[in-house]
Structure formats: structure tokens, C-alpha cells
Amino acid sequence: MAEENEEGVEPWPENDEKFYKDAKDYWTGIEPTVDGMLGGFEKISPTDINGSKAFLRPFLKVGKGKTKNHRALDCGAGIGRITKRLLLPMFDKVDMVELNQKFLDAAPTFIGQDANRVERFICSGLQDFTPEPGRYDVIWCQWVLGHLTEPHLVDFFKRCQKGLAEDGVLVVKENVNSSTETDFDDVDSSFTRCKEDYVSAMKKSGLTILKDEKQKGFPKGLYTVFMFALK
């Protein structure tokens, strides 16, 4: 999550199979805690959640928008930080999709009494996951899309578009590189793309950008984070 200096940029991944395996291996070694999910930056969680609420609410009927609040999907959900603190307070039901079964196993305890409103705990990488058509009012993707290659990112966006209910919204919240380059981190096997590359992938997939906004209030030294609402 901290921004790399130029000397910290690592070599490009050798192939897709190694790219995905290395990411899975990395997360297998991470503790199922909020600090683990946020790479040691647990302190930013309240600011992050408040920014997300402010961004999302105007799209929902409760915020005088068109999107219903029946069911949301949390992509790359980890132990359910976003499910618990953002989505369950705003939606009737939530599904979670996460690569690491250990995190899903820890999620009900972490979420607590509202865990019974999580309908599906889906263990899958996003490159292999297809949302059920028309199921979700909101699909939320945060700090996970760097674990997809560009072709898989475009394909995933296309599948998400089909997974949205009428007036549904796909939200992307990701680190963006301050330059026009893409950085690769071989520690957790992920890309940090520039904003323009995300916009390009969104357009290639046929999505329309309804709104984009920079997350405010994060400490200096972290990557810039942008939120996109798409349909």
C-alpha cells in the first residue's frame, strides 16, 4: 500500500500461472486480522470506510439515487472488513468472494452478529469468478484488482456488468500510480496501475464511468487511491 520509489520497482511477472500462484502464496502467510488485510495500515480503516460511505450513498435510494440496497458483493473480501463496516450497514444481504479460505473461515467471527446476513462465502480468485447475472445492486472491488492481469481485468469487468441488477453500480477503489507507468510488486505479486490504465480497461469492457473521486485524508507516503462508480 505504501508507494514504491523508483528503485523499489520489481521485475515483471514471468507468466500468468506464476503471477497468480505467488499472490496466493503471499496471502496464505498473512494473519486474518484487519492489520493483515491492510498491510500494517489498520489505522487508515476509519478514514477509508467514511470515504467509501460518502462516495456510495448518493447512488442508493436512501441517498436519493436509483440503486436499491438489497444485495451487495464484496470482491477480495478478506475477513470481511468492508462487508462488516461498509456493506452490511447499507444492504440487506452481502456475498463475499475471497481467494483464501482461511480468511473466509475467520469472517463470521470477525463480522459478529450480522454474519447471518452474509449469504454466500465464495472461495475463488476473481480471474475465475463469475457473478450470478442480475444478482447484485452493488459490486464492490477494493485493493484487489492489482492481482489481475490486464486481459483478466477487462474480462472480469464484463462479467461484473452482467452481474448487476437494474440500476446496479460497480465500484472500484484502488491504488493508482502517480506516473503513467505500471509498477509490479513481486512480494505480493500485484500491479499498481495508473488511473489512465484503469479507465482504459473500464472502457474496453463497455462500462460507463458515472463518477470518480480521490480518497482524501490518507497519510503521505501511500499511493493515491481513486474510487470509480460504473455501470
- Domain range summary for the chain, segments of one domain joined by +: 45-230
Contacts of 165 (CB under 8 A, 6+ apart): 68, 70, 71, 134, 135, 136, 137
pLDDT in tens, 189-203: 999 999 999 999 999
pTM for the whole structure: 0.95
Q: pLDDT > 90: what percent of the chain?
A: 92
pLDDT (mean) for 146-154: 98
Q: For 56, list phi and psi in degrees, rounded to 5.
A: -80, -40
**Which residues, including other chains, have CB under 8 Å from residue 8's CB and lie 6 or more apart?**
none
Bridge-based pairing state of the strands 136-142 and 71-75: parallel
Predicted local confidence at residue 7, as pLDDT:
44
Q: Give pLDDT, residue 11.
A: 63
Confidence of residue 71 (pLDDT cuts 50, 70, 90): very high
**Whole-number pLDDT of residue 8:** 45
Phi-psi region of 167 (alpha: psi -120 to 50; beta: other; left: phi over 0): left
73, containing H or E segment: strand 71-75
Read off the C-alpha cell for 137.
445492486
The CATH number of domain 45-230, selected from 3.30.160.270, 3.40.190.10, 3.40.50.150, 1.10.760.10: 3.40.50.150
The upper half-sphere exposure of residue 15, i.e. CA atoms within 13 Å in the direction of its Cβ, equals 2
